[in-house]
Amino acid sequence: MSPDSLAVMGYYTGDGRGLERYDFNKLTHLIYSFVYLDGNKVGFRDEAAIEDYRRLLALKTRYPHLKIMLALGGWGGCEPCSDVFSSAENRQTFARSVKTVLNEVGGDGLDLDWEYPAIEGHPGHPYKPEDRENFTALVRALRNTLGQDYLITVAAGGFDEFLEKSLDWKAIAPLINSVNLMSYDLVNGFSTVTGHHTPLYSTAEQKQSTDNAVRFLLDAGFPANKIVIGAAFYSRVWEEVEKTGNGRFQTGKHVPGLRYSQLATEYRPENGYQLLWDQKAAAAYAYNAEKQRYATFDTPRSVTLKTRYVKELGLGGIMFWELPGDSDDGAMVNAIYTEKMAR
């Protein structure tokens, strides 16, 4: 597989200003996050959001290779999805509205980020078992309406319950360009026990991992070259964590984390942190014994290994949440790109 064929997909929630800090030669896709359901049609948050998106589209003048996509939903952004997409008429109207936006405003396709079909996602959001088949019908309506010229990708939970219950993998595989595995937040804000939130490999203490999700899909017959794994440009943090195991797999209280760009300043010995590496999980973490704070995150080392894993297994590429989290010198994207291009 040629290095050039590997996708490097960055999600983006900014306003489209300050884009000169990024080297888009090192990305293949930029995914504007998010658009939402307006009734049974796709809609932007407001007029300002349309202008934000247009700033991304303008990048194509300088970077004609770059695919610019819209992402629907996100965490907390798909409350009406279960109800709206239950209807064939609504699915068709939605698909036509996506085509209209892509034709009239611009863009290369849609990323479906419904969190989650058929299982509990954001607290209070409706879900039902029928979401699984309705999701397949939605993807089919989109492909039939958009044709083959537009991209359709699916942001998928990287944990067992989603993988087993949310989507009909065999049915959607021929219809989509890639599944973007959210192989992060595998321990998340609802977790009362620490762990690695974006590990490459499973361990005896933690089954959920990137490799666990990839193996599930491969075993289900999903095409390897349509699997895009995830990296996290942010940390998950817990406090009130005992020092046993340097804080790993201990009870704690989740608190807000940091962007990758802030990690080097905070997680250092001068601030009382030990910077640690789990060899089996291929995952970085940090622990502050005095403050009893534990942090889990990706680093250039871990994303290099993830990119190497993509190449070794013949996967489609790597994506990350999110581009503005990178350091000013682009350390995370550079690490991915350097490994991508390595022979």
Q: How far is CA 111 from CA 142, 219, 269, in A?
A: 11, 24, 40
Domain contains 159? yes
Question: Buried b vs exposed e over 188-202: b needs ≥16 C-beta within 10 Å?
Answer: eeebeebbbbbbbbb
User: In this structure, how many other beta carbons lie within 10 angstroms of the beta carbon of residue 153?
Assistant: 26
Q: State residue 36's pLDDT score.
A: 98
Q: Which two tokens stand for residue 240?
A: 């009130």
Mean pLDDT score, 277-303? 98
| Separation between Cα atoms, residue 324 and residue 21, nearest integer Å | 10
| Separation between Cα atoms, residue 44 and residue 26, nearest integer Å | 27
Say how many domains are in the chain.
1
Domain contains 135? yes
Q: Which two tokens stand for residue 294?
A: 């534990």
Q: State residue 230's pLDDT score.
A: 98
Say what percent of the chain tops pLDDT 90: 98
With a cut of 80, say whether residue 34 has pLDDT above it.
yes
Q: State residue 225's pLDDT score.
A: 98
Tens of pLDDT, residues 50-98: 999 999 999 999 999 999 999 999 999 999 999 999 999 999 999 999 9
Alpha helices, H only, 77-130: 81-84, 88-104
Q: Residue type for 274, please?
A: Q
| Separation between Cα atoms, residue 271 and residue 280, nearest integer Å | 27
Q: State residue 143's pLDDT score.
A: 98
Mean pLDDT score, 261-281? 97
The model's confidence at residue 4, banded by pLDDT at 50, 70 and 90, is confident
Q: State residue 2's pLDDT score.
A: 79
| Separation between Cα atoms, residue 210 and residue 298, nearest integer Å | 12
Mean pLDDT score, 171-185? 98
| Separation between Cα atoms, residue 70 and residue 107, nearest integer Å | 7
Bridge-based pairing state of the strands 273-278 and 227-232: unpaired
Domain contains 326? yes
With a cut of 80, say whether residue 236 has pLDDT above it.
yes
Mean pLDDT score, 230-234? 98
Give me the domain span that covers residue 106. Answer: 3-232+299-341
Residues marked active site are found at: 115
The model's confidence at residue 209, banded by pLDDT at 50, 70 and 90, is very high
Domain contains 104? yes
| Separation between Cα atoms, residue 298 and residue 302, nearest integer Å | 6
Domain contains 275? no
With a cut of 70, say whether residue 259 has pLDDT above it.
yes
With a cut of 70, say whether residue 163 has pLDDT above it.
yes
Q: Which two tokens stand for residue 40?
A: 């049974």
| Separation between Cα atoms, residue 288 and residue 338, nearest integer Å | 32
Contact 65, 107 (CB under 8 A): no
Q: How far is CA 267 from CA 80, 107, 131, 275, 288, in A?
A: 40, 39, 42, 7, 9
CA 213 to chain centroid: 13
Burial of 290 (0-12, 13-18, 19+ CB in 10 A): exposed
Q: Which two tokens stand for residue 73?
A: 């939903």
Tens of pLDDT, residues 117-144: 999 999 999 999 999 999 999 999 999 9
Alpha helices, H only, the chain: 47-57, 59-62, 81-84, 88-104, 131-146, 160-165, 169-172, 210-219, 260-266, 300-313, 331-341
The secondary structure of residue 299, as a DSSP letter, is: -
Mean pLDDT score, 312-331? 98
With a cut of 70, say whether residue 1 has pLDDT above it.
no
- The CATH number of whichever domain residue 222 belongs to comes to 3.20.20.80
The distance in angstroms from the start CA to the end CA of the chain is 11
Q: How far is CA 133 from CA 54, 124, 139, 151, 172, in A?
A: 34, 21, 10, 21, 10
Tell me the average pLDDT of the chain: 97
Domain contains 27? yes
Domain contains 173? yes
Domain contains 115? yes
> Within 13 A of 199's CA, how many CA atoms are on the CB side?
27
Q: State residue 3's pLDDT score.
A: 80
| Separation between Cα atoms, residue 266 and residue 272, nearest integer Å | 9
Reported pTM: 0.98
